[in-house]
Chains A and B, each alone.
Chain A
Amino acid sequence: DGGITQSPKYLFRKEGQNVTLSCEQNLNHDAMYWYRQDPGQGLRLIYYSQIVNDFQKGDIAEGYSVSREKKESFPLTVTSAQKNPTAFYLCASSAQDGGTEAFFGQGTRLTVV
């Protein structure tokens, strides 16, 4: 089955800790994205990567970091510099060319305790 997998589904973090959210896809997509969703709001773009070994900041990149060492994987680290990290995080991927849709993972809910 082709798809995009996020793990874990739920994650708890103590204040001051870094945590890493996993995102893996086997769709052979070049582009991958991380979005943050807060209650009653749409999705806001954190980081995106259009090709391996390259990534760009989105609209709300502060306090986050990413890597793209493999085509299949685009992990997101929420650092202690992110002042309000409690949110629902969604990863997506899409083919690079044309107007094909973005496929989404099932999300990771991060809570700071």
Chain B
Amino acid sequence: GEDVEQSLFLSVREGDSSVINCTYTDSSSTYLYWYKQEPGAGLQLLTYIFSNMDMKQDQRLTVLLNKKDKHLSLRIADTQTGDSAIYFCAERGDTGRRALTFGSGTRLQVQP
């Protein structure tokens, strides 16, 4: 079945770059997503990338996709204390149920 894995925790200093990594197993994944969740809240979509792309940049966010290794990363430049949250990687295939399959989330802690 589908599986998405992430490391559980990342701590960085304010102003540094953060890199959150994700691996997935479903080779038919068409879209890959990064969501942010603040305490007690729902998920906020940060960005997504189509599987035929290898990079997408959106302001401070850069997504890199290595389709051969099934590896996705999210880089946050100039990390701020407001970036402290849980970040979820998710994938979606193009057939079947089309629901997102999520990783367990990476808690990002930004130290002032």
Binding site for B on A (CB under 8 A): 6, 31, 33, 35, 40-45, 48, 50, 56, 58, 90, 92, 94, 99, 101-107, 109
Contacts of A101 in B (CB 8 A): 33, 45, 48
For the complex, give the distance between the alpha carbons of A50 and B97 in Å.
8
* B98 CB, nearest partner CB in chain A, Å: 7
Q: Which residues, 55 to 80 on B, are CB-close (under 8 Å) to A?
A: none
Per-residue interface assignment for chain B, residues 32 to 46, with 1 indicating a CB less than 8 Å from any chain A CB and 0 otherwise = 010100001111110
- Residue numbers in A under 8 Å from B98 (CB-CB): 31, 50, 94
A-B contact pairs, 17 of them (CB 8 A): A6-B42, A31-B98, A40-B8, A40-B104, A42-B4, A42-B105, A43-B88, A43-B100, A45-B99, A45-B101, A56-B97, A99-B31, A99-B50, A99-B92, A99-B94, A101-B48, A105-B42
Q: Does B21 contact A (CB under 8 A)?
A: no
Complex CA–CA separation, A105 to B104 (angstroms): 19
* Nearest chain A CB to B71 CB, angstrom units: 17
Shortest B84–chain A CB gap in Å is 17
**Could you say which residues of chain B place their CB within 8 Å of the CB of A102?**
33, 45, 100
> B40: shortest Cβ distance to chain A, in Å?
7
Is the beta-carbon distance between B48 and A99 smaller than 8 angstroms? yes
Give the chain A neighbours of B8 by CB distance below 8 A: 40
- Say whether B24 faces chain A, with CB atoms less than 8 Å apart: no
**Pairwise interchain contact A104-B43, C-beta atoms closer than 8 A:** yes
User: By the criterion CB–CB under 8 Å, are B45 and A99 in contact?
Assistant: no
Q: How far is the CA of A76 from the CA of B17 in the complex (A)?
A: 40
